Amino acid sequence: MIASLLVRALIIALGLWVASLLVPGIHAYSIASLIAAAVILGVLNAVVRPVLVLLTLPLTIVTLGLFLLVINAALLGLVGWMLDGFDVNGFLPAVFGSIVVSIVSWICNRFIGERRR
């Protein structure tokens, strides 16, 4: 279980690194800040995101799920606000960064994720 959490944190850190390379406005200043940002983002996704999704469920239904991008961007922006060494400069970089992190996480989980059958 701990190995699984460690792998997930490293996948998120990889996604944040790719986002910092591709998205202007997202900056990571060290590997340690990437790992710390990944851990904080993982905790926020586990604790805060379900509450936000539940509270904004009507808006998410009306927008056919697109409001989830706003929630993901807000959590990424919150990580940038909480952590020195990882910056998210604005809402659009947060949206594009959350898309990049999601895509990288999805690709990594498809290749090295657990097989549940």
pLDDT, residue 109, reads 86
Q: What confidence tens digit (pLDDT) does each residue in 89-111 have?
A: 999 999 999 999 999 999 998 88
Rg from Cα positions in the chain: 14
The angle subtended at Cα 36 by Cα 90 and Cα 44, nearest 5°, is 65
Q: What confidence tens digit (pLDDT) does each residue in 30-76 have?
A: 999 999 999 999 999 999 999 999 999 999 999 999 999 999 999 99
Residue 1 has pLDDT above 90, yes or no: no
Bridge partners of 55, per DSSP, are none
| Residue ranges of domains in the chain | 2-112
